[in-house]
Amino acid sequence: MTTPLVLLDLDGTLTDSAPGITAAIATTYRTLGLPVPTPETLRSFVGPPITQSFPAHGVPQDRVSEAVRAYREVFVDGMIRDNRVYDGIPEVLTRLRAAGLRLVVATSKPQIYADPICDAFGIGALVDGVFGAPVDESTSTKADVIADALAAHPDAHPLVMVGDREHDVHGAQAHGIETIGVTWGYASPGELVAAGVAEVVGTPSELTAAVLRRMVAAAA
């Protein structure tokens, strides 16, 4: 039997990156002279590619590239300082890997940011790979990132995706993979269920148990 592979979202699943991201987004709108979205809308930026979120929330299409540049100038300065690993996540990764699972991070965050963030918080040492989007996020979807992760591990069998937003669910569905949704992230009420998530968990310990159940079932 091939090794089971677990795909893990980053923002809102492994790390609480909302403070830094929302502050940088708000600054971007001010820089562009546009009305700053509500706090609820700012939180919705966490997870999906910003090239999709900006035009969906008031940035004219012809200014999206300008917005992305302005955002990154601010975000890079605080991407480590204004971020943290959720309590219990290192223990989850350690237990799952010890059980024989292969773990990879699959994030819509550009690869050039995903790598240093995972390394800074010790995540890189607990997984078997980190896969992010290209710098030009407009050319990539979550399904594309997952495709890259799967292509890099052809000897592994994709067991499940773990994420906190609907785009995690849809990206995994494109490859016939079910998703375990986590409630400590940034999804709006009902978002994960509406997207077709297979299961929802409320704590890291529940996540560990859910993944291990799937591993046992797949081996039966």
User: Would you name the residues annotated as active-site residues?
Assistant: 9
What stretch of H or E contains 109? strand 102-110
216 torsion bin: left (phi>0), alpha (psi -120 to 50), beta (else): alpha
**Rounded to an integer, what distance in angstroms lies between the CA atom of residue 157 and that of residue 205?**
23
**Rounded to an integer, what distance in angstroms lies between the CA atom of residue 211 and that of residue 206?**
9
**Rounded to an integer, what distance in angstroms lies between the CA atom of residue 160 and that of residue 163?**
10
> Which of 97-108 are b and which e, b meaning 16 or more Cβ less than 10 Å from the residue's Cβ?
eeeebbbbbbbb
Residues 44 and 64 sit within 8 Å (Cβ to Cβ): no
**Rounded to an integer, what distance in angstroms lies between the CA atom of residue 148 and that of residue 126?**
19
27: its two tokens: 């600054």
